[in-house]
Chains A and B, each alone.
Chain A
Amino acid sequence: MADTFLDASELVLNMGPQHPSTHGVLRVILKLDGERVLSTECVIGYLHRGVEKIAENRTWQMFAPYVDRMDYVAAVSNGLGYCLAVEKLLQVEAPPRAQAVRVILTELNRIASHLLWLGTHALDIGAITPLFYCMRERELILNIYEKYCGARLTTHAFRIGGLQYETYDGFEKEVLDFCDIFEKKIDEYEELLTGNRIWQQRLKGVGILTAADCKEYGVTGPMLRAAGVKWDLRKAQPYSGYEKYDFEIPTGENGDTWDRYVVRMQEMRQSVRIVRQAVADIPAGPIMAKVGKVIKPPVGEAYVSIEAPKGELGYYVVSDGSTQPYRVRIRPPSFVNLQALDKMCRGALVADVVAIIGTTDIVLGEVDR
């Protein structure tokens, strides 16, 4: 009797889709043995809107605002990827001025995305204060976006062939002011978190993903770099003039949650560095390449991948020569990175699952599309 009484079989626990730490609508089915996780299973699709199918019923220009709604915390990066893919099909290149402005805005977007990640990740683990500070600095970036293109979150900042809007008066100064403010603020976040013993113990050694695992799962972005692989598409296959800027690829060693935290913090510093270089040298000239009002790419296909804040964001576009895409396939970094969740969670504690989901930095709009 006593034996069977104590023989607790495995417990199945549903986490989400309303759990606040699943960042939206991710449902994770946890199989537990006491506090230990035996396996996890993700249930996704709650936010599926069929973005790829929508593309087939829109013209090339019309689809641009929809890509902003996938990874909505990094809308500018998504827009850049799509524009670059269609530009490759059309065999045009954005003018140098447009490229420089694109780099500035996407790097600011990387900072904004990482700030949101830092705030929510810390909040999940129990440090509530950084969230407010991160949001405050993110607000400065969103204000720049609002002044530049008229929207804050789903910006639709870029057009196929270049930019729709010329920079506003005082754009450079505002961006540089932000850089000055922000560099001090990163030190502040580090002061709050990096030295904190609780923060260290919650992160170190949790959710280890080795370089080999990363390659197997196709994990990219800061998660791959935290495992020690120096792979950044901005260096490996530069786009939009990234080869002109001098920056480093921060890497970690162990591939645990702590390393990912360190790598992302370093990436924000590197982004500031890129922004400073780009603002110092915005070439004069036109902002739009010669593309017609009606875009009709020649029959063919193109794949362009960029380094979005969360990893490799790829757009595979197929044209049948008409004004509408024949097919748009998107490789979202969050979706691919989420695969590694099971690997990272096995053997971890239930409380660590929250930390691991946070460190994966997923956006469900992008996972489900």
Chain B
Amino acid sequence: MKQLLRKVFLVDLLEGLRVTFRHQHPKQIVTEQYPFERPKIGERYRGAPRLNINPENGDTLCIACDLCALACPENLIVVGWERNPETKKKELVTFTYDISRCMFCGLCEDACPVDALELTQDFEMAGYSREGAILDRQTLEQGLLPTQYRY
């Protein structure tokens, strides 16, 4: 009898609907209004790469040791260097980083002995061309230019 009444009055469906309506309360809204509302990104987030420079004199921190290029599973980092004839030290000339092939595993960042290469919290890397995804030394030092969205 109880079973029949439950069937007639659709009790199990109403129980489910109760949950649904409980979630209609404005407090329950979890949608993030991106891009109006910026998402909170974790501190360790592995996003767009950056080549750090010394903030005092603007020199690069990179010692051109090539460890990041060796650590990279996709082989997408190319470090160009030449030896300074006076100091006999390696100096960084070019640095390319192909984010079109990057899987942001963080191995290059771990390999860097001087914390020069860093994966930043910047996640907006969409572009219009494949060439644009190959970052040169200048872009890596400045960071990717912020994208302007029109809406």
Contacts and interface: CB of A to CB of B under 8 A. Distances in A.
Contacts of B42: 143, 146-148, 150
Interface string B55-92: 00000000000000001110000000000000000000
Interface stretch (B103-111, B128-136, B138-146): B103-111
A196 B45 contact: no
A133 B22 CA distance: 12
Interface in B25-62: 30, 41-46
A292 interface: no
Contacts of A195: 12, 15-16
A133 B46 CA distance: 27
Contact of B73 (A65, A165, A168): A65
Nearest to B13: A196
Contacts of A146: 41-42, 44-45
A148 B105 contact: no
> Most A CB atoms within 10 A — which of B13, B20, B42?
B42
B20 to A, nearest CB: 5
A150 B106 contact: yes
Interface in A60-79: 61-66, 69
Interface residues of B, number: 26
Interface string B3-24: 0000100001101101110010
B12 A65 contact: no
Interface in A116-162: 129, 133, 136, 139, 143, 146-151, 154, 156
Interface stretch (A5-13, A186-194, A300-308): A186-194
A193 B30 contact: no
B19 A192 contact: yes
Nearest to A143: B42
Nearest to B7: A197
B105 A197 contact: no
A156 B23 contact: no
A62 B71 contact: yes
A282 to B, nearest CB: 19
Given A65-B105, A192-B16, A150 B30 contact: no
Given A133-B23, A146-B41, A151 B16 contact: no
Interface in A165-200: 165, 168, 188, 191-193, 195-197
Contacts of B72: 62
A250 to B, nearest CB: 23
Contacts of A191: 15-16, 18-19
A146 B72 CA distance: 21
B117 interface: no
B16 A150 contact: no
Given A62-B71, A146-B41, A191-B19, A151 B12 contact: no
A290 interface: no
A204 interface: no
A348 to B, nearest CB: 24
Contacts of B30: 136, 139
A150 B45 contact: yes
Contacts of A129: 16, 19-20
B119 interface: yes
A63 B20 CA distance: 44
A346 B97 CA distance: 52
Contacts of B110: 164
Contacts of A165: 44
A58 interface: yes
A151 B107 contact: no
A156 B16 contact: no
Contacts of B44: 146-150, 165, 168
Given A62-B107, A195-B16, 15 more contacts: A61-B71, A62-B72, A65-B103, A146-B41, A146-B42, A146-B44, A148-B44, A150-B45, A151-B46, A156-B105, A191-B18, A192-B16, A192-B19, A192-B20, A195-B12
Which 9 pairs between the two chains have the least Cβ-Cβ distance?
A65-B105, A150-B44, A62-B73, A146-B42, A150-B46, A147-B42, A195-B12, A192-B16, A156-B105
12 contacts: A65-B103, A129-B19, A150-B46, A150-B119, A151-B45, A151-B46, A151-B104, A154-B103, A188-B19, A191-B15, A196-B12, A196-B13
Interface of B: 7, 12-13, 15-16, 18-20, 23, 30, 41-46, 71-73, 103-107, 110, 119
